[in-house]
Chain A
């Protein structure tokens, strides 16, 4: 199987791949569905199963796999609203460290 992921945001690193893998694990998406996620794909507030507990699990997993620490005040609805917003946040966070 080819994993020809669409280039949503220019990524100098593997953040995009890691984030897609985490979303696949948390939401139980197929590889095809995960590959279809683009910048505007809705997350928090769009997917009924993506509740606060699932978001907490996702952020903890992002911290683990990306080796970053996400503070309370950085977490808001906007940063979680779309795949693009989450990717931008995590990429910036990784660049900081």
Chain B
């Protein structure tokens, strides 16, 4: 079901909540940007399957993402981290499930990471997509100059307008040392697909791994 919560910046954000309000509850931190779109179906399906296995979960919109009315350009890595922590507190989450670059935002809770991706690697892929497109269009750009401009003025990457602080934050963002257990449900990652697809078996495998671990 859809519900709302308030991010530290004051914006009211949407969240999808699945499963019972009592018992374990996962804070789901989704993949970012284009990867978020490619894995949205998979992410929500995993939550439904977790609910069938007695585990609640909540998927909050980060400020500036999805249905959020907040400006993406105003966000920074720390504003997102604070938002993730605030959502965990608001919904009383006991665990985290971080998908891809979502792992950069995980609050101090036990839990799981699926194919964690460092913020700087996420930025690198976006910059690369832009330089390839620019080269094909006959107006080549370099990663270095884009990064320099981005840190000063912000940058539009794959349709996402990132602020200067976010570009600077991401360019430095290595994966934090985290106690999150890495999950391997098998099969190719859906974020790789040029044409978005779903994989119900993979979602079930991920839900099973989490349910087994939470029950222990």
Contacts and interface: CB of A to CB of B under 8 A. Distances in A.
Interface of A: 22, 24-28, 49-61, 72-73, 75-77
B192 A61 contact: yes
15 contacts: A27-B193, A27-B194, A28-B193, A50-B194, A52-B129, A52-B132, A52-B136, A55-B128, A55-B132, A56-B129, A57-B125, A57-B191, A72-B128, A72-B142, A75-B132
A76 to B, nearest CB: 7
A25 B189 contact: yes
Given A52-B136, A72-B142, A75-B135, A26 B192 contact: yes
B128 A26 contact: no
B131 A53 contact: no
Nearest to A47: B194
Contacts of B135: 75-77
Given A57-B125, A60-B128, A77-B135, A26 B158 contact: no
Given A25-B189, A56-B129, A49 B195 contact: yes
- B: contact size bracket: 20 to 34
A86 to B, nearest CB: 14
B133 A52 contact: yes
Interface in B120-170: 121, 124-126, 128-133, 135-136, 142-143, 158
Given A60-B121, A75-B131, A76-B135, A51 B188 contact: no
A26 B133 contact: no
B192 A56 contact: no
Given A60-B124, A75-B135, A53 B129 contact: yes
